[in-house]
Amino acid sequence: MAIRTRTILGTRALTLSEVARRSRELFPDDARFHIPPNLYHTLQYRGFSPSIQQLFILSRVSGYRLVDWLSVFGVVLDDIPLLQAILPARYTTLIDENVYDDQTWTLSFEPITRGLPEGSLRPLGEWLRIGTPRRHAAWRHESKSNFLYAKIGCHDALSFPELLPGSIVRIAKQAAFAPHTALTKRGAFFLVEHGKGLACCRLHVVDQKRVVLCPIYLPFAHVELELEKHARIVGAVDFELRPTAVRAPARVSRGLAQFWIPPRLEAASAELRLNDLLRRARRRSGLTFREASAKSALIARVLRNNEFFCAAGSLSDYETTTHGPRHIHKMFSLCTLYSISAWEFMAAAGVLASEAGKDAMPDGLRGRTILPDAESLTTRQTTWSWQRSNSVVEFPYFFGRAAADLFQMPHLSIRDIFWIGGRRESFHPYLADAAAIIINRRKKRITSQPSAPLWAQPSYILLGHDGQYVCASCESDGKTLVMRPFSNGFQRPLRLRRPAEIEVIGTVVGILRKLSDGW
């Protein structure tokens, strides 16, 4: 690490003594920002890493971005939303939608045909092909997104079974719709922040200032909340991505099963001390210190680095001091656990990312894969405009990286994603409003779960002898396959012989559902 740091500073014609001197000139009264003159020597010790303040100095003096310096020392900020999406969640949590490294490579897609017929069910591979990889910064993006993303918890699933534990939902922020008008929309789901955390559910409107959280199936307590005093509507749910292969059991936590007196919400503030920010975020996440520590152990296990583990006592100490953790790995874990933006964390710690370096570190120095990027800007903008106008729903960068883990498919491809053109007739409660289906082609065995309800029975993509695909729940005795009438709009059960009349393509492991026509 010492040699790598020396090499990076050398590309800017900087010596360690110069950087140490500049750090003391910029922050003479704050030793946290001072670079030790023997930094190269201390980096040779296992377990040592510069603090976020020291990395800020390295970024500011060298001109290289802070996100690149963090990556050099083993902290990749874009892994925060990835872990929030794939790790188990007891309580509903927000997923960081930020893209911290806009120089990362992303896939692009190019059309093969003009589109699929309305109401058809076809694999995306028949419509699209993978194009040249491009950097994320090459695409035109909105300066400020109108959407948030959350993962449904298993202990506060008030909307079960409409929204399953482990599902990822997209939420239109409150500014994108009229709150009081939207509340009257029947069947709509809202993300609500209250004194005990977050809840994604339907609401019963008592009057313009009071609502009641409405559970659908499980016996959660009905509690009346006063808006802006006891609860705050974050936004409305418009899409759900539900994994069907592995479902976390939905439970009712003791604190939400019995009637509880709603505590007053703390006033929103953009300027918080770090300990106050951590305390508020932990309460919103619904985690105790022990639960947060246990989840940090999962982070350390996934990243194969014990430095990301946070002891329960340390988590408690961070909420009593304004200095926060010294190690950047602990900062990463806190942002992941409590759904805090890394930029928000740094600002509370006294590090202004806007004053750090602006230049992207070369791929070779940062350790990023080097790929050709010779496409013209006109081609990029044309491809971006086509993708934007023909997309079903936009998900941020983290989704593409988390999809394989979310569906337990290490080799997910566009051949495994089936597009459903337009709304289709279906007796299955969650296929009628589906926009896309993800399948596992390796799982073709027909199974049934006698103790599970109809909506929880496995579904399959089938290919008939006429070349048409069908998504249906079915049962088989080996040679004959019977499609249940409720699952795909059939008026009567169909009995077909395998493989002469029907072929099983794969098992449905994910469904992308549209829950709203827009706000």
Q: What are 439's strand-pairing partners?
A: 508
Whether 24 has a pLDDT exceeding 80, the answer reads yes
pLDDT over 90, % of the chain: 26
pLDDT band at 300 (very low <50, low <70, confident <90, very high): very high
SS (H, E, C) 435-471: EEEEEECCCCCCCCCCCCCHHHCCCEEEEECCCCEEE
Per-residue pLDDT tens digits for 163-195: 999 999 999 887 555 555 556 666 789 999 988
Whether 80 has a pLDDT exceeding 90, the answer reads yes
Among the ranges 112-121, 340-349, 376-385, which has the highest mean pLDDT value?
A: 340-349
3-state secondary structure of 34: coil
Which range has the worst mean pLDDT, 110-114, 237-241, 344-348, 364-368? 110-114
Whether 295 has a pLDDT exceeding 80, the answer reads yes
- What pLDDT score was predicted for residue 191? 93
Whether 130 has a pLDDT exceeding 80, the answer reads no
Whether 384 has a pLDDT exceeding 50, the answer reads no
* Dihedral of alpha carbons 463, 467, 469, 470, sign: negative
Name the DSSP class of 175. Answer: G
Whether 145 has a pLDDT exceeding 60, the answer reads yes
Which amino acid does the sequence have at 52?
A: I
Q: List alpha helices for 211-262, DSSP H.
A: 254-257
Q: What are 237's strand-pairing partners?
A: 171
SS (H, E, C) 282-297: HHHHCCCHHHHHHHHH
Per-residue pLDDT tens digits for 31-70: 889 998 888 888 877 667 888 999 999 999 999 999 999 9
Per-residue pLDDT tens digits for 213-257: 989 889 998 888 998 888 889 999 989 998 887 667 888 888 888
pLDDT over 70, % of the chain: 85
- What pLDDT score was predicted for residue 326? 86
- What pLDDT score was predicted for residue 152? 93
3-state secondary structure of 386: helix
Whether 386 has a pLDDT exceeding 50, the answer reads no
Q: Which two tokens stand for residue 90?
A: 């007891």
- What pLDDT score was predicted for residue 375? 47
- What pLDDT score was predicted for residue 517? 64
What's the chain's average pLDDT? 82
Which range has the worst mean pLDDT, 48-62, 355-369, 400-414? 400-414
Torsion angles phi and psi, residue 90, rounded to 5: -75, -35
**Cα 424 to chain centroid, rounded:** 28
Between 258 and 132, the more confident residue is 258
Among the ranges 16-25, 318-327, 387-396, 408-417, which has the highest mean pLDDT value?
A: 16-25
- What pLDDT score was predicted for residue 390? 52
Nearest Cα neighbor of 189 from 310, 312, 92 is 92
Which range has the worst mean pLDDT, 83-87, 185-189, 199-203? 185-189
Among the ranges 270-284, 301-315, 387-401, 481-495, which has the highest mean pLDDT value?
A: 301-315
Nearest Cα neighbor of 240 from 428, 517, 511 is 511
- What pLDDT score was predicted for residue 175? 53
DSSP string, 245-271: SS-PPP-B-HHHHS--PPPPPPPP-S-
- What pLDDT score was predicted for residue 331? 94
Whether 493 has a pLDDT exceeding 90, the answer reads no
Q: How many Å apart are CA 63 and CA 160, to the nearest integer?
A: 50
Name residues whose C-beta falls within 8 Å of residue 208's C-beta, 6 or more positions apart in sequence.
Answer: 180
Whether 127 has a pLDDT exceeding 50, the answer reads yes
- Helices then strands, each counted (H, E), the chain: 16, 21
Q: Which residue has the tokens 């695909």?
A: 469
3-state secondary structure of 320: coil
